[in-house]
Structure 1
Amino acid sequence: MRPDWWSKSLGGVILGFTLAVALSGVFAWAGPGGAQALNKYQFNMWMLAPIWLGIVSFCFLFRSGRDCWTWLGGANLAAYAALYVCRALFR
C-alpha cells in the first residue's frame, strides 16, 4: 500500500463532500423546474450521498495525494463558480 492513501482519503472525504454539495446545488438551480420545483429539495438531499461516495471511491485512482487535492480543488472551484452563475441567472 502506498503511503499517501491518507491524503487521498481525506481529499476524497473533504473535497468530495463540498463538490457533491455544489453539484447538487447546480442541479437544484439549473435542473427541471428550477429551485422551486415540487419535491426537489428531497431529491437533492438523497442525491448528495451517491455523488459523494462516487467521488470518494474514485479518489484512489489519482497517482498521488497531491494530484487528488489539486484536481478535486479545481473541480470545487469550477462547481461553485457554476453554482454562482446558476443562482444569478435563474432567480
Structure 2
Amino acid sequence: MMGTKWLAGTLLGLPLALALCTLGILWLPGGWEGGVVAAVLLTLPLWVGIISGSLLFGSSRAAWLWLAAANLVCFGALWALRALHAMPPASTLGS
C-alpha cells in the first residue's frame, strides 16, 4: 500500500532531513554559522527526496523501520557529538 509508505517518508523524513543537514554543516570550514542558511534551504529538497525514496521500499513496514533506524542513527550521532563537546551549543544564553 503506497499511502503508508508516503506517510512514513513524510513523518520520519523531515526530522531525518534536518538531522542530515545539521550533521552536514558541522564540518564546514567556516563553522555552522556560515552554513545554516544553506542547510535550511537544502532541507526541503532533501525531505522531498526522502519522501520519494520511501515509495521505493518493498513494504510499508520496511519503510517505517528503515526510516526510524536512520533517524536513530543521525540523532544518536548528534547526541554523541554534543556529549563529547565536539559540537557548539545551540544557544549561548545558558553560558
Q: What is the TM-score of this pair, normalised by structure 1? A: 0.84
* Alignment-derived partner of residue 75 in structure 1: 70
C-alpha displacement of 1:7: 1.0
Equivalent-residue separation in structure 2 for 1:32 and 1:74 (angstroms): 29
Equivalent-residue separation in structure 1 for 2:6 and 2:32 (angstroms): 32
Q: In terms of mean alpha carbon deviation, does 48-57 or 65-74 score higher?
A: 48-57
RCO higher in structure (CA 8 A, sep ≥6): 1
Counting helix residues as a fraction of each chain, which structure ranks higher? 1
C-alpha displacement of 1:69: 0.2
Output the amino acid matched with 2:76: A
**Secondary structure at 1:61's aligned position in 2?**
coil
Aligned pairs, number: 86
Does residue 1:32 correspond to 2:29, yes or no? yes
Structure 1: 5+ residue stretches without partners: none
User: What are the equivalent positions in structure 2 for 1:45-60 lying under 5 Å apart?
Assistant: 45-60=40-55
Identity between Structure 1 and Structure 2 (%): 35
**Secondary structure at 1:89's aligned position in 2?**
coil
* Alignment-derived partner of residue 86 in structure 1: 81
What RMSD over aligned residues (CA atoms) do the two structures have, in Å? 1.4
* Alignment-derived partner of residue 18 in structure 1: 15
* Alignment-derived partner of residue 9 in structure 1: 6
Q: What is the TM-score of this pair, normalised by structure 2? A: 0.81
